[in-house]
A and B are shown apart, each in its own frame.
Chain A
Amino acid sequence: MAENGESNGLPHPSRGPAAAQGSATAAAEPKIIKVTVKTPKEKEEFAVPENSSVQQFKEAISKRFKSQTDQLVLIFAGKILKDQDTLIQHGIHDGLTVHLVIKSQNRPQGQSTQPSNAAGTNTTTASTPRSNSTPISTNSNPFGLGNLGGLASLSSLGLSSTNFSELQSQMQQQLLSSPEMMIQIMENPFVQSMLSNPDLMRQLIMANPQMQQLIQRNPEISHLLNNPDIMRQTLEIARNPAMMQEMMRNQDLALSNLESIPGGYNALRRMYTDIQEPMLNAAQEQFGGNPFASVGSSSSSGEGTQPSRTENRDPLPNPWAPPQATPSSATTNTTTSSGSGSGSSSNPQLIQNMLSAPYMRSMMQSLSQNPDLAAQQMQNPDTLAAMSNPRAMQALMQIQQGLQTLATEAPGRPPGPAGSGGPAGSGGHTGSTVSSSAPSETTSPTSEPGPNQQFIQQMVQALAGANTPQLPNPEVRFQQQLEQLNAMGFLNREANLQALIATGGDINAAIERLLGSQPS
């Protein structure tokens, strides 16, 4: 065997049998062929005898690639090469390329589950859904649903319907029907940051006209909403799904205890009909009404009737059943039928994607910094139309990309709209990308064009400086609060400003901070 002509690839231990083989065919002088082995990451050339087996080939490869032979998978022309085959058998000649996949020993969790699921399903296995997921629909947590209403309107890209409220209801339905998705959305850090801004949430909730009616009827609710401590607590709870489940469980327990106290049932019932039911109705109107409505009304005879002593064995109505027939006339919802259900299988991923798309992120950030404008934006029909137009969103994304490139190329130069021309020019320029159809900036918003433009400017700024979103000057933001603090006698403007920044504009909390820090 031509030892000197041998390649550097074949290891010595296998020289023995190969040598024996080789000597048998020594007369024929097996050709050495050059085979390229290509992995996703690199490419190496091997010179091996034409008649080697795949096993020998793998041994050579394992040395060069520093893996074990059983980790190697060789593929040629779509076939997996088995150890006992030979290279000739597969038609591997000089100069051809063989593909190699090196199996990693401890595969990350996501990958090992992928073969079992279709690749189309959710790949965020990092946050595996908990087994006891509490759907939020039935229990009267209106804040939860209010939040969802706000969130739903933000991430509506890619759904085929053009009517925005349809989109919203579709989103909400999907969210409610898939508790796992809900959990994942809740865990999305930007959702959490939005939720932690009590001002924003309050405004989002207040913006819902049904809530407004409710508040008029029941002033206690407005007290609830305006009390920042309670809001903060509720938001904390809403943010943390586990805590929420705990709370609800406790609530359920407390309620059931109440029931057994004489006269307690009446109180409960009163509480339910006065507060919970209208809220539940208001929030759930889009889903075909309160499924529990019929249960209560059937025993409408006399308020004082205690529940019958025997257990109620009727099955409770299924709150998650697809909404029956007639949509409520109050909203403009049309068919929320199974059509949306079939499309929804691919939609959760769309929604996931949209939530995580970079421009969404920066938009959310700028939105969370401007709670007033955010609420306004929700209602501005043009923005809504724009957000549901995928082309507009793509255009926005391209702008963001361009701005990012610009930012890296010329970091000193502020991005276009902020630095150049007057607000009218820039407003017109950005306005054309936000509104999906022709209407010009002057005709679009029904409310003041000023804050609208300002918002768009900020949005574009935020898009441009996506890493460090530009906060509008805190002094400007807190102008009103600063004046109030001044009037109250806190004359140290700097300290006021800092306290306001720390509490996010909350005057009461800022005052507490100031009082706590000052020795007087």
Chain B
Amino acid sequence: GKQLEGIWHTSIVVHKDEFFFGSGGISSCPPGGTLLGPPDSVVDVGSTEVTEEIFLEYLSSLGESLFRGEAYNLFEHNCNTFSNEVAQFLTGRKIPSYITDLPSEVLSTPFGQALRPLLDSIQIQPPGGNAIGRPNGQS
């Protein structure tokens, strides 16, 4: 069997706000403000010149196109996908590979394959954030 250290949920903290992607779309909250609490580990991806204004514009177009809530998929297109995209946008660097490799690690085990249909349908949205990119904050 294979031992996984954890199923990582990641988010990007920039301009003193935390941004993450869940089944409800892109959301933001104060850092560590979701129900999951303060982070297990913090990785410094770099520094960015992008202003908050531009970033929020970027996020809202992402939220309408690539990262709508319905597009959430636990394996292929999850919070880590989002964090990776945003990290590259902001700094040009990607997030650590042990996070992005997680789905393929799971799927490479027979157990993971067996569980796949069930896991595929799981929609995760850590409570505690506000949605971005919708004219009305309520879904």
B70 within 8 A of A: no
Q: Mark B121-138, 1 if CB is under 8 A from A, else 0.
A: 111000111111001111
Docked-complex contact A40 and B61, CB < 8 angstroms: yes
Q: Mark B37-59, 1 if CB is under 8 A from A, else 0.
A: 00000000011111111101110
A39 within 8 A of B: yes
Given that A118-B17, A119-B56 are known contacts, is A79 also in contact with B127, CB under 8 Å in the complex?
no
A331 to B135, CA, bound (A): 42
Q: Looking at the complex, which one of A78, A119, A350 makes contact with B132 (CB distance below 8 Å)?
A: A119
B139 within 8 A of A: yes
B89 within 8 A of A: yes
Q: Mark A400-421, 1 if CB is under 8 A from B, else 0.
A: 0110010000000000000000
Contacting residues, chain A, for B62 (C-beta < 8 A): 40
Q: Looking at the complex, which one of A119, A356, A398 makes contact with B139 (CB distance below 8 Å)?
A: A356
CB distance from A42 to the nearest CB of B (A): 8
A454 within 8 A of B: no
A386 within 8 A of B: no
A114 within 8 A of B: yes
Docked-complex contact B28 and A124, CB < 8 angstroms: no
Docked-complex contact B127 and A111, CB < 8 angstroms: no
- Closest residue of chain A to B128 (Cβ to Cβ) is A350
CB distance from A342 to the nearest CB of B (A): 13
A122 to B51, CA, bound (A): 21
Q: Contacting chain B: which of A98-106, A208-216, A245-253, A488-496?
A: A98-106
B109 within 8 A of A: no
Docked-complex contact A122 and B30, CB < 8 angstroms: no
Number of A-B contacts (CB under 8 A): 121
Given that A119-B17, A350-B128 are known contacts, is A101 also in contact with B48, CB under 8 Å in the complex?
no
Report A10-43 residues with CB < 8 Å from chain B CB: 39-41
Docked-complex contact A80 and B123, CB < 8 angstroms: no
B90 within 8 A of A: yes
A126 within 8 A of B: yes
A110 to B138, CA, bound (A): 12
Report A152-188 residues with CB < 8 Å from chain B CB: 157-158, 188
Q: Looking at the complex, which one of A41, A120, A124 makes contact with B61 (CB distance below 8 Å)?
A: A41
Docked-complex contact A122 and B66, CB < 8 angstroms: no
Contacting residues, chain B, for A349 (C-beta < 8 A): 29, 128-130
Contacting residues, chain B, for A358 (C-beta < 8 A): 139
B2 within 8 A of A: no
A101 to B135, CA, bound (A): 19
Interface residues of A (CB under 8 A from B): 39-41, 73, 75-80, 97, 99, 101-104, 107-108, 110-111, 114-115, 118-120, 122-126, 157-158, 188, 346, 349-350, 352-358, 390, 398, 401-402, 405
A–B complex contacts, Cβ < 8 Å, 23 sampled: A40-B61, A41-B66, A75-B49, A75-B89, A77-B91, A78-B48, A78-B90, A79-B49, A101-B54, A101-B57, A101-B61, A104-B57, A115-B56, A118-B16, A119-B17, A119-B56, A120-B17, A120-B30, A122-B130, A124-B137, A346-B29, A349-B129, A353-B128
